[in-house]
Each structure stands twice: as C-alpha cells, then as structure tokens.
Amino acid sequence: MKRFLVILMLAAPMVANAQLSNDDVHKYDHHNQSQYRTEISIPGFDGYQTLKCDFHIHTVFSDGLVWPSIRVQEAWTEGLDAIAITDHIEYRPRKNIVVADHNESFKIAKKEGNNLGFIVIKGTEITRSKPLGHLNALFINDANVMDVEDPLQAIDIADAQGAYIIWNHPGWPDNKSTFYPVHEELIKAGKIDAYEAYNYTESYPLTFDWYAQYGIAPMANTDIHGTTAIDYGCDKGWMRPMTLVFAEERTEASLREALEAKRTLAFFFGNLVGDQKYLSKLVSASLQTRPVGDRLEVTNVSDITYKMTQGDALYVFPAGKTVLIKAPQGELSVQNCFWGNGKNLIYTF
C-alpha cells in the first residue's frame, strides 16, 4: 500500500504537468507579465489610504499612440489605483482613421477597468491657446456637448455636469507659468479646482505656491501620449509621475470626495509638492522610529526615499530600508518635500 502511495505521489506532478503541456505545445503562461502588478508602497494616515492616480492621459482617439484598454492595463501593472481618460476635444489628428465620438475612448477603457477592478474616470481636455491654455474636465457625463467654439462656454457646460477641472501644464508652451486674469476669474467662480505642478517631464516651481495662494489642489500627471515603459522606464523599476490622493476608500466616490477636499500631493521622481500638513503626515507615516541607546533606528516603510539636512549634515532614508543614525536634535529640512517655491518641509523626529 505504501509503495502504491509513493508511486501515486510521484505520478501526480507528471499528470499536472501534462495538463499544461503536451508534445505539440508547451505553455509558459507565467511569463505573461500582464497578469503581474507592481505594488507601490505609500502609507496612508488619519484613516485615509493613499491612492496613486494619473488624471491626464491620451489615447489614439486624440493624439495618443495607445488604445484605451492598453492604457488601463499599463496603469494597473504599474501599481496605480485610478486614471482619467482625457482625450482632446479640439485636437484629433487621427479622426479620419479612428472614427468615433468624444465619449468612445472612455467606454473602451471603462470596460477594461471593470475587468481589472480598476477606477477609470471619464474626462476630456479642452484644448486652447494661452492665456486660457488647456484644462481637463473630470467626472463628466458627456464630452460631445463641450465641442463648441467658445472655450468658456465649454467650461460652463463641464461645470454644469459637475466636473472637477484641472489647469494643465501652466508653464507650457512658452516656459512661463503666468497666472492670467482669466484663471483668477475661473477660480473665484469655482470652475478651476486643481493645477498641474508637474506634467510629463517638467515641473513648474512658481506654481508650488498656488495651493496656499489660490486654494487649488496640486497634481502631477503624465499627459502620456506614448507608452510609460518607454517614456519613464517603468519596466525597469522607475515610477511614473502621479497624484497622491488621500481617500477613505478605493472607490470613485471616495476619490472624488478627497479631490474636492484637496487632499492631494504631487509626486514626481522622488519629489513631493503640496500642503505642509499632508507632507508632514505622509513623512511621519513613512518613517517608523525606535530608540537604540543614543541612536535612532529609522525604518522607511514607503517606496519614497527621503533626504533631510540639518546644517551641514545630510540624512538619507532610502525606500524600504532601515537606517541607524545618531539621533538628530531639533528641526530638519526635507529636501524633496516642497510646500512652496523654494520652501522645504521642516520636520522633527
């Protein structure tokens, strides 16, 4: 009986393997990277979780190079929690090839998002020259009705649909982050809710003060047209720029509530921009400490490396590592956390 059981146990793997392969075809499904997701570790605080988001994305339905469903798969595998499809209304160079209305790219992306349990937000980009510039309208119902000649009318239509509106790349294309009267009027009217402190491969330091000055939320978005793997090296371990949103739940409704409450930070290539309060809370949640005699053990549980200075001393807390240092006394300046232009977060352990 024992001999029979041993033979049966030895045969079991062979039977299981035979179910996967035969003499005609050997399958290597485990090498299909589309089923693997890279998790980004950024802790929450005060009962909120950190959602990693990209609110500015293009597909072939405007001037992007990628199909909408691939945009969702791309974001899911790279560890994001939500994206917004924001194809241009006015600029559609492939409209004779990709024939569809302004809502179709979202429909395709949303279907793939449902398959993956991933949040896809319906949006569009109102594309005009400065001084107005480009604005993304999120959480809309119908992009088609915004296809009008007057851009301010398009904004009014978006606002009537309850849109959350972002002022895109304020320093593009003239390399000047000018705050124009039209933006002041729109903000006072509650028709601009956020702005991009970072877009694609450029930041706009003068705008780092706008959260405090004008009460609009900072964001970092890719404005991606090609692939993130090529543009940002995401397949090599790099993280794409993203907006961190501190929400109660991983749902579209909770995400919208957090955006309305301006609980966001712009995160790009190791840098964070936003309200001092959220910067400080995120750093505290990321760095766990334990006294060891006259030294301090600091464990960074996040995927964000923090760099701090105190006089001539430099303290580096690498992502996912523990550092044992002489316990610093007093205030430190966090070199990669900005609450304004040239204004670094001041932090104490």
pLDDT in tens, 27-80: 888 777 888 999 999 999 999 999 999 999 999 999 999 999 999 999 999 999
Minimum mean pLDDT range among 154-168, 172-186, 226-240 = 226-240
pLDDT at 28: 84
Look at residue 334 and tell me whether its pLDDT is greater than 70.
yes
Look at residue 2 and tell me whether its pLDDT is greater than 50.
no
Look at residue 16 and tell me whether its pLDDT is greater than 50.
no
Contact 94, 107 (CB under 8 A): no
Amino acid at 7: I
pLDDT at 30: 78
Read off the pLDDT of each residue in 139-162 and give the average, rounded to a whole number.
Answer: 98
Read off the pLDDT of each residue in 239-262 and give the average, rounded to a whole number.
Answer: 98
pLDDT at 102: 96
Phi, psi dihedral angles at 279 (to 5 degrees): -60, -50
pTM over 0.85: yes
Angstrom distances, CA of residue 113 to CA of 80, 81, 110, 219: 12, 10, 5, 22
Contact 288, 301 (CB under 8 A): yes
Look at residue 6 and tell me whether its pLDDT is greater than 50.
no
**pLDDT category, 237, cuts 50, 70, 90?**
confident
- Rounded-to-integer distance, Cα 245 and Cα 280, Å: 15
Closest CA to 222 of 53, 61, 91: 53
Q: What is the CA radius of gyration of the chain?
A: 24
pLDDT at 177: 97
Look at residue 244 and tell me whether its pLDDT is greater than 60.
yes
What mean pLDDT is reported for the chain? 93
Peptide bond into 131 cis (omega under 30): yes
| Domains of the chain, start order | 48-274 (3.20.20.140), 287-340 (no CATH)
Look at residue 3 and tell me whether its pLDDT is greater than 70.
no
pLDDT at 19: 53
pLDDT at 166: 98
User: What is the DSSP-derived secondary structure letter of residue 308?
Assistant: E
Look at residue 275 and tell me whether its pLDDT is greater than 70.
yes
Query: CA dihedral in degrees (262, 44, 248, 50; nearest 10)?
Result: 70
Instruction: Report which listed range, 6-10, 108-112, 234-238, is most confident.
Output: 108-112
pLDDT at 79: 97
pLDDT at 11: 46
pLDDT at 20: 60
Phi, psi dihedral angles at 7 (to 5 degrees): -60, -40
Strand 217-221 and strand 194-199: the pairing is parallel
Look at residue 23 and tell me whether its pLDDT is greater than 90.
no
